[in-house]
Structures are given as structure tokens and as C-alpha cells.
Amino acid sequence: MPVIDRCILRISAYELLFAQEVPTAVAISEAVDLAKQYSTKDSGRFVNGLLARVASEVRAS
């Protein structure tokens, strides 16, 4: 996994866990956009899938 992907995932996981005022869709969308812009061509899909799973675990309604 590229270093930039790990950094993006760490920041986004923090947002999902501790910044409840940030909507889930916004946190994930911003992370995916960053991954698409600064990492590999498949990183956007990977980041999206991983963060969606994290969000379903930590922000379950």
C-alpha cells in the first residue's frame, strides 16, 4: 500500500471516529478525491471500500 494511502486513511479514520460533526459521506468523499489525485489509479476504489467498512462499524445508526 502506498504511503500516501496510509496517510489519507489515518486522517479519514480520525474524522470518522472523533469528528462527529463531519458527515460520513463528506469524510469518505474527500479521502477518495485525495487518493485519486495523489496516489495510484486504483487507490480511490480501495480507500472508498475501506472507509465505508470503517464507517459502518463506528458510525452505525
pTM of the model: 0.90
Q: Which domain holds residue 33?
A: 3-58
CATH number of the structural domain spanning residue 53: 1.10.940.10
| pLDDT tens, position by position, 2-60 | 999 999 999 999 999 999 999 999 999 999 999 999 999 999 999 999 999 999 999 87
- Sequence-distant (≥ 6) Cβ neighbours of residue 39 within 8 angstroms: 2, 4, 5, 8
**Shortest CA distance to 9 belongs to which of 54, 61, 40, 42?**
54
Rounded to an integer, what distance in angstroms lies between the CA atom of residue 50 and that of residue 53? Answer: 5
Number of domains in the chain: 1
